[in-house]
Chain A
Amino acid sequence: MDKLFLIIKREYLSRVTRPSFIIATLVTPLVFVLFFVIVGFIFSYESDDTKKIAVLDESGILKGALKDEKGIFFKFEQKPLDTLRKNFKASGYDAVLVLPKIDNLFSKDYMVYYYSKGQPTLDVEVHIKDRVRDALRDYKIDALKLERKQLEALNTSVDVEPEPIEKGGQDATRLTGAIGAGIGFIMGFIMYMAVFIYGTMVMRSVMEEKTNRIVEVMVSSVKPFQLMMGKIIGVGGVGLTQVLIWAIMIPLLMTIAQVAMGFDAEQQMKMSQGASSVNPEDTQAMVMAAMAEIGNVNWALILPLFIIYFLGGYFLYSSLFAAVGSAIGDDMGEAQTLTIPIVIPVVLAIYIMIKAVETPTSSLSVFSSIFPLFSPIVMPAILASKPPAWQIITSVIVLIGTSIFFVWLSGRIYRVGILLYGKKGTFREFAKWIFYKE
């Protein structure tokens, strides 16, 4: 047991003290945050050239007012179009906008004309469209003598509010599903990373030990199974360390970046929604409700379960990676061929997870939340939508049982594989090795 601990310690320390690890762990959040800052900057970037546009309002709907915005300046002209076109160069205008007379109040189409050297840029086009549409709406309401209040009453927003069937049951809000889905996606993604990054790390390390021939020295002191477990646990610790550091650093850096860039969350939200009619107080209420909902999630149940699924999934898959690593030397090409059968279920599980978040009670979701190759990714994703106890218990038992079985199975392959040179690892060989006596 203390030998296993020695191996875990070496596997862990030799990795976390490596400069490349420290750099990757610290730089990744920086790159991540930088990426978001740059994306945010690009999206908030506005056209910095100015445009002067002459407006010829033959319809009269604008009533002489078209708001200037973001470097676009409008000026109403009374001169006829031909004159404007003739004197275009000297006038200093970039374009002439013509709003023709409205003949039919019931027409659903309305064409305005934009005279310029080139095409209108997208921001100009969107701006004109929005303004003209709003003005036209007001104009039609008045011309048709409609009641404004009645019209507004036609736009109803509908929400589904979940309520428990039993009296006094736990009341969910309409945010529960969304929060659950969010947590589910994050958990599924972490699992996916753990399996791929750290599973591959285990495999490479096993391959390296075999190619190095250190393994022959090692197994004269410890059992191959101890060596394999030590590696899997050690690398798992490295993974947890890295994920934990990222989980702290990314939100922290995000906050710092936001403060440093001078825009707070509220403003950003307003910006992203454009000038639509969302009230800042509403937004704040939404955020508060979401926070309350995150607090409402049964973390006392979900967190331990998440750890169980994380460990179960990690052990299950990384032991398979270790078995593959033991069967091959330094041939990465061969490694890729042999890892395909391991990778396929993981990728499938991700797709099922995306679907299961939407429909957590479908038979596909229920099956996948129990099937041990999928459950580590699918089950954490639907935990927030409260699957029944039998489903969770069955899933956990099946996962733990399967993980133990796979670790055992991989150990059988590993102990033969690491000492065998020059023989190609095929699945047929694997099957034989499993049944070799010690």
Chain B
Amino acid sequence: MDLILDLQNVVKTYDKKIAVNNVSFGVPRASIFGLLGPNGAGKTSLIRIITTITRADGGKVFLDGQALNSLHPEQIGYMPEERGLYKKMKVGEHLTYLGRLKGLSRSDTKKALTYWMEKFEVSDWWGKKIEELSKGMQQKIQFIATVLHNPKLIILDEPFTGLDPINTNLLKDEIAELSDKGVSIIFSTHRMEQVEEICDNIVLIDQGQNILNGQVKAIRNSFKKNRFQIDFAEEWKGTLPPGFEVVDQKPASLVVGLSEGGNSNALLQYLLGQGAHISAFNEILPSLNEIFIQAVNKNHGLVS
């Protein structure tokens, strides 16, 4: 697979605490990749290694096929969860400064700024001081600063906190657009419904380890319990043949669990044969939220 980022057996320890314990995963090019994990799992440590803020004690990290080096920060855009700006600086000055620090020339910075500020409809904020902006407005500036230098890889840590629904959607669209253009995006959050909506692939980190990694669809499939939800047009009072277990029953709906090797077609055929009037027949896939909790509890030795 074509990987933009490849981590191999990465280890990082502070003092005696192991923050990252032998983590390996790859981020496919042009994908939106979810980096998930409970608080203190080691996500920030991993991000700091990828952004070259700190160096791994062991293992290898490749960005676009090259071992991570000091030129790479210019190809990465990072929006940290704890983010701030110089309050006394003017928006234009500030963005120019950050762009220049990412290695852009003065004229390139100007060009990129014109493009992005128009896109986010903030061109007239150029001369405003950061401290005059609301939190949501500052967030937009943060995002522009992250993408300004046209990075190959963008890392967004909880990018939607503090944004209203309209701006959340604006940012989501922007992320999708960047992804379509071939930019790879690592997205770190606790909001699982956003991950389900946005991400193609995920890795779940817990206690410094990779405990789950893969495509969102495949993971949800692997966690499914062969359960189906059947909705009836009218009340249904029947029984099911052996091999089908009723998990939950309401007057006009049924949750059925299939035994190992059970066939959903057989269930549907049986019900139709009974003359049931079916309005919906769905396989129940576990939500990422459930999978997250289940996987983390399992890793902690707890039974879900």
Contacts and interface: CB of A to CB of B under 8 A. Distances in A.
B54 interface: yes
Interface in A215-271: 215-223
Contact of A220 (B78, B87, B103): B78
Interface of B: 14-15, 48, 51-55, 57, 70, 73-74, 76, 78-80, 82-89, 97-98, 100-103, 142, 145
Contacts of B52: 220
B241 to A, nearest CB: 60
Interface in A408-438: 419, 421, 432, 436-438
A230 B101 CA distance: 12
Given A14-B89, A212-B85, A214-B85, A220 B53 contact: yes
Interface residues of A, number: 24
B78 A438 contact: no
A217 B156 CA distance: 12
A14 B51 contact: no
10 interchain residue pairs of minimum CB distance = A213-B84, A212-B84, A216-B80, A220-B78, A221-B101, A214-B84, A213-B82, A438-B55, A220-B51, A219-B53
Interface string A181-223: 0000000000000000000000000000000111111111111
Given A3-B101, A6-B100, A220-B80, 10 more contacts: A212-B86, A214-B85, A214-B86, A217-B78, A217-B84, A221-B74, A221-B98, A222-B73, A223-B70, A419-B48
A214 B74 CA distance: 18
A18 interface: yes
Task: Give the secondary structure class of B's interface.
Answer: loop
Interface of A: 3, 6-7, 10, 14, 18, 212-223, 419, 421, 432, 436-438
Contact of B88 (A7, A14, A219): A14
A215 B101 CA distance: 13
Nearest to B77: A220
Contacts of B80: 213, 216-217, 220
A168 to B, nearest CB: 59
A223 B73 CA distance: 10
20 contacts: A6-B97, A6-B100, A14-B88, A14-B89, A213-B80, A213-B83, A214-B83, A214-B85, A216-B80, A217-B79, A217-B84, A217-B85, A217-B98, A220-B78, A221-B73, A223-B70, A419-B48, A419-B53, A436-B14, A438-B54
